[in-house]
Structure 1
Amino acid sequence: MKAVLFDQPGGAEVLYYGDAPDPIPAADELLVRVHATALNRADLLQRQGGYNPPPGASPILGLELAGEVVTANGEFAVGDRVMAVVTGGAYAEYATVPVGMALRIPDNLTYEQAAAVPEAFLTAHLNLFTLGRLKAGETALIHAGASGVGTAAIQLARAAGARVITTAGSPEKIARCVELGAYAAINYRTEAFAERIKQLTEGRGVDVILDFVGAPYWNDNLASLAVGGRLMLIGFLGGAAGQLNLGAILPKSLTISGTTLRRTPLDQKIALTRDFAAFGLPRLASGELIPVIDRVFPLKEAAEAHRYMASNANVGKIILSVP
């Protein structure tokens, strides 16, 4: 099969379009003909040598896919359209998917649209609801609201009856976040978000924060949380090291949680997939939830897609179309 490969860590130039062995599905897996996949920050880190796949995972990049079932298994027949999170291998013509991780693609979504769903929406669902315990009537602060996970999180929180505040780095991104359902959007380049949170919540703070930035936001995040608030750390784009003040954690009874979907045990990921299927698939089918796509690149242009993601210009997901 054709796939995007690299032989040594490096910049986007190390990626090339070449031949790889066809994957062989295990007894509890589907073989899927991939029609589209999507970029994630983890792909850039893995390409650079900083985020190796877990044992047993494909070394080929790609953490989500949309495609067509090639080998029947369980409830899925040959030809069924499915989308899924995978531990690797999606930058290719074929990939294997654990049966429990496969989601049926709603009829109203194309393969490119479906490829924008799994990683973003499952990550957001995991951190907002499973770990963050966000409920109707509460307030969530979602950093990087124009990112793939951010655009999914805004919509999921809104659909659950929560109020959403978000941060983003340009007027265009701010406008898109509001369009998707954010109650308020803060331009982090021109405003101190902790001060705005105080104003917007009348000093109470927010109940849940999704943070991709890490150490630079630590103190302002803690200051922005209400009593009993939950901070979900899902990335360290701004760095993981710094001088951190722990003083707010005990008096506010805060919960700090960190997770990566890729390394979550399979049984927990299957349970998450089922939870999202019940909540999210009907809303995707009705159009209440929408996958947000910035650009679509051919698989052969994966290197250019990586450069584009590194520029931080995208609003929503960057898709690779697989011929």
Structure 2
Amino acid sequence: MKSVIVKAHPLRCEIIDTPIPQPGPDEVLIKVIFCASNPRDWKAPDHLIPGIEINQGNEMSGIVEAVGNNVYEFQKGDRVAAAHPMQTENGTYAEYATAPVNTCFLLPPNISFEEASTIPFALCTAAIGLYQRLKIPFPTSPESTQVQPPLIIYGGGSSIGAFTLKLAKFGRFEKVIVVCGSGRPYIESLGVATDFVDYRNCNVVSDLKAALGGKKCFHAVDAINDSNSFRHLSQVLAPEGSCISVYLPRLDYSDIPPWISVGITFFGTVHNENMDFAYALFRLVGRWIAEGKMSGHPYEVLPHGLESVERGLWMLKDGSVSAKKLIYKVSDTPGISPV
């Protein structure tokens, strides 16, 4: 099968021929219809985990081809979306990829493969940040009906930021304040943000304080993770009992004052401490989609399938992508038989 290896310095991709992987005991093998890119896919080999050149793809939708010996929920032919474990072989930039059952869900008939491919990695990461790190009551908890203090989301147009907003609709907050730029129209369409701060005005801290209107804020999601974002948030959070959820575990967060808790949100925890949480979440996601309570992220299908992964990663690296996911139809790859 065809598989894309992501390399760095300079950023480039190589399509190789490799054997079709076999699922482990608790995994499914998926014939990939669509795969999606995330910023970490270029950041990992570039500076987060330099020197490792593998298939960095983590999100996909497709059809189950085979299941492991312990798998009883899925069978060959099922329409699914799934997240592949980061920094492991058999990633999703390929004709076939594996995924553990706890990060795989069945697709209801009201969602396309395209839309579904934008969901698994980003939604699960957003959920870990909101519920496991910030300790916001989970939607099935009786406490979810209680009004929570204001929530700030820095980078609402990113996929993690947008899915955090969609999850916030299941709860109740005094305010939901979003820091964003050109992605504001899409964020407004979600119907959950109460206030907006445009980072391009270069007055983020004062504008956040104005949006809070004197209310104390204890919870913030930093879906951007540059030095300015968490530094800005540190200046507006209450000096006691506050927490910022961040998404890049290897960054230096020493600029965040010691009285603010840093909740490092790492998708990889779905394979250990958050395994059961992810399992339950992904079972709910399918139902939420079927009931119209959850949807995917806006997307752009780049032409030529896997050949365009390199172009997509460059677009993410140079910052030319806003409020949408870049996805690829694997069968559009030259030399691969169309579905």
TM-score band w.r.t. shorter chain: 0.7 to 0.9
The residue number in structure 1 matching 2:307 is 300
TM-superposed CA distance for 1:192, in Å, is: 2.2
The residue number in structure 2 matching 1:261 is 267
**Per-residue deviation, residues 266-317 of structure 1 (Å, max 9, x unmatched):** 1434323233235433222222322112311222211111122223232132
What SS does the corresponding residue of 1:196 show, helix, strand or coil? Answer: helix
The residue number in structure 2 matching 1:270 is 275
Q: Which amino acid aligns with 1:15?
A: C
TM-superposed CA distance for 1:124, in Å, is: 0.5
The residue number in structure 1 matching 2:187 is 177
TM-score (norm 2): 0.82
Show the 5 A alignment for 1:59-208: 59-72=54-67, 73-87=71-85, 88=88, 89-135=91-137, 136=144, 137-138=147-148, 139-162=150-173, 163-170=175-182, 173-180=183-190, 181-208=192-219
The residue number in structure 2 matching 1:4 is 4
The residue number in structure 1 matching 2:334 is none
The residue number in structure 1 matching 2:244 is 231
How far apart, in 2, do the equivalents of 1:307 and 1:210 lie?
26
TM-superposed CA distance for 1:214, in Å, is: 4.0
State the aligned residue count.
308
What SS does the corresponding residue of 1:203 show, helix, strand or coil? Answer: coil
How far apart, in 2, do the equivalents of 1:95 and 1:129 lie?
29
After alignment, is 311-320 or 108-117 more displaced?
A: 311-320
TM-superposed CA distance for 1:52, in Å, is: 5.9
Q: Which amino acid aligns with 2:322?
A: N
The residue number in structure 1 matching 2:296 is 291
TM-score (norm 1): 0.86
Note if contact 1:214-1:233 (Cα within 8 Å) is conserved in structure 2: no
Q: Which amino acid aligns with 2:330?
A: V
Note if contact 1:197-1:205 (Cα within 8 Å) is conserved in structure 2: no
How far apart, in 1, do the equivalents of 2:129 and 2:215 lie?
21
TM-superposed CA distance for 1:47, in Å, is: 4.1
TM-superposed CA distance for 1:152, in Å, is: 0.8
Note if contact 2:102-2:282 (Cα within 8 Å) is conserved in structure 1: no
- Against the structure 1 CA distance between its residues 290 and 40, is the aligned structure 2 distance closer, same or farther, given a 3 Å change threshold? same
TM-superposed CA distance for 1:200, in Å, is: 2.2
What SS does the corresponding residue of 1:45 show, helix, strand or coil? Answer: helix
How far apart, in 1, do the equivalents of 2:215 and 2:286 lie?
34
How far apart, in 1, do the equivalents of 2:229 and 2:115 lie?
32
What SS does the corresponding residue of 1:224 show, helix, strand or coil? Answer: coil
What SS does the corresponding residue of 1:268 show, helix, strand or coil? Answer: coil
What SS does the corresponding residue of 1:70 show, helix, strand or coil? Answer: strand
How far apart, in 2, do the equivalents of 1:245 and 1:184 lie?
24
Q: CA RMSD in A?
A: 2.5
Note if contact 1:84-1:118 (Cα within 8 Å) is conserved in structure 2: yes
**Per-residue deviation, residues 128-160 of structure 1 (Å, max 9, x unmatched):** 012211245222211111111111111111222
Unaligned ranges ≥5, structure 1: none
Note if contact 1:207-1:229 (Cα within 8 Å) is conserved in structure 2: yes
What SS does the corresponding residue of 1:289 show, helix, strand or coil? Answer: coil
**Per-residue deviation, residues 211-261 of structure 1 (Å, max 9, x unmatched):** 13243234431232234222111138xx945873626x1xxxx42211321
